[in-house]
Amino acid sequence: QQQVKQSPQSLIVQKGGISIINCAYENTAFDYFPWYQQFPGKGPALLIAIRPDVSEKKEGRFTISFNKSAKQFSLHIMDSQPGDSATYFCAARYSSASKIIFGSGTRLSIRP
Amino acid sequence: ETGVTQSPTHLIKTRGQQVTLRCSSQSGHNTVSWYQQALGQGPQFIFQYYREEENGRGNFPPRFSGLQFPNYSSELNVNALELDDSALYLCASTQWAGSGNTIYFGEGSWLTVV
């Protein structure tokens, strides 16, 4: 049972462009939606997170857009840089628990 | 730097053997979780320990077991290894799981079963 669906599986963006990754969730009890960035050989690192009572959260070049009624959320990376090349995972969890449900990941490549 | 240290970083085991993976968390992090990440997939939750007691488990068989110690270290034990157990095993810790506290991941232990 895939509770968090993520797309696309892979994404190639030109330097300076906007990278967009989409996710959808099923369980309306989730109340915390983090995004993780993972470089090869490293563990996932928290990038940005949002709660469902907020429709958008921005931190630097990274923005989460959240649509509670559609049960969808997305990550936008503005002015994408080669250093952003990594695998990105959307996720969902209950804020009162540490179990994280991860999406299947998006391998992002930024072309110079 | 997440303050979560895992060992060993890489290891190779034979099918049927047993393996112990270790994790050292930040001081004060009394909640630790273990995840399995197969190649090209997202991490899958194995189980969680809070104050040395298991208090949540994913869809993994009993041959996956764990321990958490008072000094903020923990272990993941896997018995009767199978080829499909080959994966990156991640340890994650947090101060406590409430209010969406940040969960910190270690860099993982790569297990290859041959």
Note down pLDDT in tens along chain B; length 114 residues.
778 999 999 999 999 999 999 999 988 888 899 999 999 899 999 999 988 999 889 999 999 999 999 988 999 999 999 999 999 999 999 876 555 677 889 999 999 999
Contact A36, A17 (CB under 8 A): no
Hey, are the CB atoms on A99 and B33 less than 8 Å from each other? Answer: yes
How far apart CA B67 and CA B51 sit, in angstroms, is 10
Identify the band that residue A111 occupies on the pLDDT scale cut at 50, 70 and 90: very high
Rg, chain A, Cα only: 13
pLDDT of residue B96: 67
pLDDT of residue A2: 64
Taken as a whole, chain B contains a residue count of 114
pLDDT of residue A107: 97
Residues of chain A contacting B97 with CB distance shorter than 8 Å: 96-98
pLDDT of residue B13: 98
Q: What angle do CA A80, A50, B6 make, to 5 degrees?
A: 80
Contact A10, A107 (CB under 8 A): yes
**pLDDT tens column, A46-89:** 999 999 899 999 999 999 999 999 999 999 999 999 999 999 99
pLDDT of residue B1: 72
Burial of residue B99 (CB within 10 Å: 0-12, 13-18, 19+) is exposed
Q: Which of A32, A49, A99 sits opposite B48 (nearest CB)?
A: A99
Residue showing tokens 């994913």 = B58
**Which one of A5, A47, A98, A99 would you mutate to disrupt binding with B, by most B Cβ within 10 Å of its Cβ?**
A98
pLDDT of residue B51: 87
How far apart CA A5 and CA B33 sit, in angstroms, is 22
Strand A10-14 and strand A106-111: the pairing is: parallel
Q: Which of A95, A97, A103 sits opposite B56 (nearest CB)?
A: A97
Read off the tokens for B20.
């112990």
What is the overall mean pLDDT for chain A?
A: 93
pLDDT of residue A1: 55
pLDDT of residue B99: 59
pLDDT of residue B97: 55
Read off the tokens for B97.
């799981």
Contacts of B22-25 spanning 24+ positions with Cβ under 8 A? B22/B73, B22/B74, B22/B75, B23/B73, B23/B74, B23/B75, B23/B76, B23/B91, B23/B93, B23/B106, B24/B72, B24/B73, B25/B72, B25/B73, B25/B74, B25/B91, B25/B93, B25/B104
